[in-house]
Chain A
């Protein structure tokens, strides 16, 4: 509609209003709105392609005039981050760290095809003289055929545990991520691969696929289980692959689920020639549950795993180590679990205050090699008690404080303060 005719319609509508009363004016306003909506629709149709790139421009006033279908071209910026301060009880040392800042771009190519990505910067500065790291945490494509069937491919998170897929700071209790989902399940754990996932029935979500496996020739940390051997998409050795599967049931207030990941990790000695021909099969699995009722929030998880040919992996680590002191015994079995309880004592508007307690057990048994001096590390059998509080000032911004006590490695006893956000 041309400007002149819209102006005429406005003039007629308001000029006639006193003679027809309230109802008539309302009707005319509706007509005017329809005309404006028509103009908007015309403007959208005639807009250049670049101006159509935002399919979800808010236009509540004309909801039914536009298709509720899913147009293409939308790109969304997402992110999260956390800052932590720790005061160690035994040494008196204190540290403060921008633990991570993560940003990502999610792009919708069309109704079915989307890209999901996250780039993570750890410890604020990345340079050869600093400990910071820059890494791609996720970069995967999803093709949605239906709610029940999604195909995905790229670098994606392995669906084990609770924290690995949902790890934004406002979504978990405590300044530090729990140690079970750090040392047994190596959160944030992602691999290159392909998978199928979806919701098959009310609340039942499955996720299965094939990915790169671990590379046990890269093991270089003695107290983090198999963590240092995951490949994370960095020129991954692909001689040995792995498969995974996860099943979760969700309904309001309840999550029950589990997952398993298994694959050989020897990679035919690509990273450590002593592992040539060694299978070193790794199997990790977990079961978990979360129950929220009223202000109570309960969560528990048990994870376990085995590394086959651990004796050969221990020998390979010893053979490759510059000195015997640099070598260590490979993990043979991994077990761990935690239970956590929180209660939302104050909730008003965006403010939400929830004290919590958490008890964790970690048992990583190593394949000892006494003749070469490779023995079990005492710190691999650990019990951790955490008591603290989360205070959300907004559903996406949280302040945290807690105290942690370690049964074995008492140098880790500490008081933590944290700040986390996601968007």
Chain B
């Protein structure tokens, strides 16, 4: 193909036109505040799970690295709890909200996704796999989660966060 400035300019204009048409706020799909309010109808008072040394050790085993926090905020009523967690996919943090009801994942949503690849994990086809999952005795999920090609690390991060949410829920009710 020979260099044709007019054709290239037309292609560029077409691309920019498509870009303008698709302009929406990217990456932040829902503010954590809004997620909590959506689950409970209103935003209840936040509670705090204090990470004792024993909880820290088990959280580290789930994450594959020590948890960076000593206190984890959450919101709950008699049956449900909401956990906003962050974990690195490949190089940036994924922020996800987990609703745990009676020891099982009721709902998962990716709230903020920052990686350049792997954004497919935010769609229901992937997230619905977590529904009704619970912790096995060894703190793994009671089911396998099918991955997304090219998003292995993001999938792993979501799985670790799901396990952590279930574990934290259990600890918060002891």
Interface, chain A (partner B; CB < 8 A): 29-30, 33, 56, 58-64, 68-70, 74, 76, 78, 106, 108, 111-112, 114, 116, 142, 144-151, 162, 165-166, 170-171, 194, 196, 198-199, 202-203, 205, 210, 213, 238-243, 250-255, 262-264, 281, 290, 292-294, 350, 394-396
The residues in B between 25 and 43 inclusive whose CB is less than 8 angstroms from any CB of A are 25-28, 31-33, 36
The answer on a CB contact under 8 Å between A70 and B27 is yes
The answer on a CB contact under 8 Å between A58 and B45 is no
The answer on a CB contact under 8 Å between A171 and B120 is no
The answer on a CB contact under 8 Å between A60 and B72 is yes
In the bound complex, how far is the Cα of B69 from the Cα of A79, in angstroms? 27
In the assembled complex, which residues on chain B have CB atoms less than 8 Å from the CB atom of A205? 120
The residues in B between 75 and 111 inclusive whose CB is less than 8 angstroms from any CB of A are 84-86, 90-93, 95, 111
Interface of A is mostly: mixed
The answer on a CB contact under 8 Å between B2 and A74 is no
Interface centre among B1, B26, B149 (most CB of A within 10 A): B149
The answer on a CB contact under 8 Å between B27 and A78 is no
The answer on a CB contact under 8 Å between B48 and A29 is yes
The answer on a CB contact under 8 Å between B90 and A78 is yes
Interface, chain B (partner A; CB < 8 A): 1-3, 8, 11-12, 15-16, 18-28, 31-33, 36, 45-48, 64, 67-73, 84-86, 90-93, 95, 111-112, 114, 116-117, 119-120, 123-126, 129, 144-153, 156
The answer on a CB contact under 8 Å between B156 and A395 is yes
The answer on a CB contact under 8 Å between B125 and A202 is yes
In the assembled complex, which residues on chain B have CB atoms less than 8 Å from the CB atom of A171? 152
The answer on a CB contact under 8 Å between A68 and B3 is no
Q: List 15 A-B contacts (CB under 8 A).
A: A30-B47, A63-B86, A64-B46, A69-B28, A112-B26, A146-B25, A166-B149, A199-B119, A240-B2, A241-B3, A241-B8, A250-B149, A251-B123, A252-B148, A253-B147
The answer on a CB contact under 8 Å between A142 and B116 is yes
In the assembled complex, which residues on chain B have CB atoms less than 8 Å from the CB atom of A198? 22
The answer on a CB contact under 8 Å between B92 and A56 is yes
